[in-house]
Amino acid sequence: NAGVTQTPKFQVLKTGQSMTLQCAQDMNHNSMYWYRQDPGMGLRLIYYSASEGTTDKGEVPNGYNVSRLNKREFSLRLESAAPSQTSVYFCASIRQGNSPLHFGNGTRLTVT
Amino acid sequence: GEDVEQSLFLSVREGDSSVINCTYTDSSSTYLYWYKQEPGAGLQLLTYIFSNMDMKQDQRLTVLLNKKDKHLSLRIADTQTGDSAIYFCAESRGSTLGRLYFGRGTQLTVWP
């Protein structure tokens, strides 16, 4: 099993450009999450999807949109990228109940 | 928002024990986690403890939880150079298990 797969691994954008970060999990997990990690900081939650068909805001949702395309896939979209969105983005998933959060390897995004 | 606090740096000699400390904020937190992050990689779950437990041991890892003081610690016995990484403490609050609140991480350096 691949677990949680994120694409792309690296991306450079100019201010104002848009892009979509892709995430897919093959563990049949119900809930999926997008976090960002800034230098010297812990991870902060951007958006999450507790189940297929639902999405909710986390701590830092401004400037982002999400789509839970199906049970496997949860995408994060930046409509108009800003330098403040330079970060490492992690997707994660979890089964309901007593189980840990599984992370992907991250997408390193630079906005110039 | 409320902060999960960790010391930023810890250096130990190979073969010694390492103790990484964390204070969390929410006395109703259900699970508390320790994640390890190596350079350029995602987060690897090391261990987690349910809030009604005081201690959990898993091979070289021992987690101690003091709910009264909201203090969590991770002890790594016989620390090796391969243990050098950033260690994140995280707490889950409420019923959304994947919605975690992270500390800033402790950079553990192991000297040969």
Check whether B2 has a pLDDT greater than 70: no
pLDDT score at B42: 86
Residues 19-48 of A with CB under 8 A from B: 31-33, 40-45, 48
Query: What DSSP string runs through A45-108?
Result: EEEEESSTT--EE-S--TTEEEEE-SSSBEEEEESS--GGG-EEEEEEEE-SSS---EE---EE
- Tell me if residue B82 falls in helix, strand or coil: helix
Cβ contact (<8 Å) for B100 and A101?
yes
Alpha helical stretches, state H, chain B = none
Check whether B82 has a pLDDT greater than 90: yes
pLDDT score at B41: 86
From the CA of A80, how many Å to the nearest CA of chain B? 26
pLDDT score at B1: 44
pLDDT score at A106: 94
Structure confidence at residue A112 as a pLDDT band (50, 70, 90): very high
Structure confidence at residue A98 as a pLDDT band (50, 70, 90): low
Residue of B nearest to A51 (CA): B96
A104 vs B8, B42, B104: nearest CB: B42
pLDDT score at A40: 80
Residues 2-41 of B with CB under 8 A from A: 4, 8, 33, 35, 41
pLDDT digits (tens, 9 = 90+) for A10-66: 999 999 999 999 999 999 999 999 999 998 888 999 999 999 999 999 999 999 999
| B106 at A interface, C-beta within 8 A | no
Token pair in block for residue A60: 């830092």
**Partners of residue A75 on adjacent β-strands:** A67
